[in-house]
Amino acid sequence: MRSKEEIINDISKLVCRTDQKFAINYLGGVIDDLNSNLNCSIERIIRPMQSYFIRAITRSEGKRALCISLIQELLLHVGTEESLFFKKHFEELEYNLNQSGRSFLIKYQNNNDYQDINRLI
């Protein structure tokens, strides 16, 4: 398993240069909180992470899908259950959005651009 620092560094490369330090601090803090804080759980952090961190990463060139895959790998440093919960959340989100021709992961150019999340993660 790769170190959490190595994974966080890879994720930080997906964000705007001005936000790379924020990404490193944020993700490191999330992992530390999940490992040490009894009041912190993947269920409590997944929506804020989706809304305020992951959504800020562009869908172009598969960057958002790669980010989700890397965060899933990072969460293995907390536990398998947390990593699987995270993956399942985004699989369900993507499936539901795809049903209406939308995507959280892919910026569609037209309706023929549908891709399955399992090919991306």
Computed over every residue of the chain, the mean pLDDT equals 88
* pLDDT tens track for 64-76: 999 999 999 999 9
Question: 115: domain range?
Answer: 4-120
pTM of the model: 0.84
pLDDT higher than 70, residue 29? yes
Domain count, the chain: 1
- Residue 110's pLDDT is 56
- HEC string of 60-117 equals HHHHHHHHHHHHHHHHCCCCHHHHHHHHHHHHHHHHHHHHCCCCCCCCCCCHHHCCCH
